[in-house]
Amino acid sequence: MALKAEPTAVVGWGSLNPLGADANSTWDAVIAGRSGIQTLQTPWTEDLPVRLAGCVPTGALNSLPPLLRRRSDRCAQLALVAAREAWTMASSITTGLDPSRIAVVIGTGIGGLATMHEQHTQLSTGGPSRVNPLTVPMLIPDAAAGQVAIELGLLGGAHTPVSACASGAEALMLGQMLLNDDRADLVLAGGSEAPVNRLGLVGFAAMRALSSRNDAPDQASRPYGLGRDGFVLSEGAGVLALMRQQDTPPGADLGWLLASGSSSDAHHIVAPEPQGLQASRAIDEALRRAKVNPSDLCGVQAHATGTSLGDLAEARALRRSLGSAADHLPVYAPKGQLGHLLGGAGAVETILALQALRHGVLPGSLNADPLDPEVELAVTKQGPVQLSSDQGQRLLLKNAFGFGGHNISLVLAGNTPAQHG
């Protein structure tokens, strides 16, 4: 059967995260090598073993009306701000489009965790009468997608993939599928997460999944690096405006999603399949659908959480799928600077990958030096590297994986797609 994998143009993007309150300031911080991780100076962390995280800049949500902030979880608020930026950037294209042909796909790993924690505390200390009547619509995972559709008046469907830390990337895959299936003419797709609260930190710390370098936050997130002791919890959101190639006005594209691949480990509720067998299948599928060979790529943006199990499984998957190309392809691990945005990670990081393609520079991977000798990849541990354009087109592989064995891989292009294969 012939594959239906039409390239998808990115015509707008928006992001807020620990490194910046918008997409451009985030890129500037990434290239400057800054860290977005900080030690939390709040009383509720005093008895916790982990007291560091990545938080969006103070005031980043001030553009939202006070009533909206009281009636929505922080996860939805982050998505709204990112969606507004993407929508504004794409305004010259969206003007005149039928709202019933514009869809929203916002993934999240957990959703309204802060609301769940706050309202349970209210119930425990004040009784049932103290619980907010909007508790349920605030905490459900689809609240962010619904809020974005309400805010912008979009009627083409609001969808919410929930696939742990792969959710943001899966949203992009589903957005492309909606376009290719002619169910929408434009899709706002991305991911959002707001897990930095007492329940979030305690829950992940109890799993021993988090770094506890409380006194050295800028060194805590160490993807592929020796001495890593877990990932760093962060908050943030990313949203991309997607459009079919034939509908995209000349010069309006910021980058391209060529194709995606997905698989499931069917292995363990938390641990990845250690040899990366199924993660490799997702990579292979993405390359096959994009009609791209490993030698056509100019780089890789890894999922790389900074846990030994995850990093090594992904490194083995990349070696298996890329073959000899893995000897020299530069690999960038963004979580050394951003921390782990869970359901927001795939979308925020994809925007960074597309910016890397536009600028021709793959950022350095903070804290990856010295490199774990078991990671047989050309990680950008010494700083940014120039991306090759020998093929006339820059192509990047981007991975996003999640608890439960969710594997998503994307093939991205920096300019108008060429024919491969």
- Please list the active-site residues: 165, 303, 340
> Whole-angstrom Cα distance, residue 355 to residue 372?
27
Q: Which two tokens stand for residue 136?
A: 């349920």
Q: Classify burial at 98, counting beta carbons within 10 Å of its beta carbon; exposed 0-12, middle 13-18, buried 19 or more.
A: exposed
Put residue 369 in one of left, alpha, beta given phi > 0 → left and psi -120 to 50 → alpha: beta
> Whole-angstrom Cα distance, residue 362 to residue 70?
40
Q: Is the peptide bond before 66 cis (omega within 30 degrees of 0)?
A: no
Task: Name the strand (E) or helix (H) holding 407.
Answer: strand 406-413
Q: Which two tokens stand for residue 12?
A: 């707008």
Q: Which two tokens stand for residue 55?
A: 């938080």
Put residue 244 in one of left, alpha, beta given phi > 0 → left and psi -120 to 50 → alpha: beta
Give Cβ neighbours of residue 404 (< 8 Å, ≥ 6 apart).
Answer: 163, 164, 264, 265, 269, 270
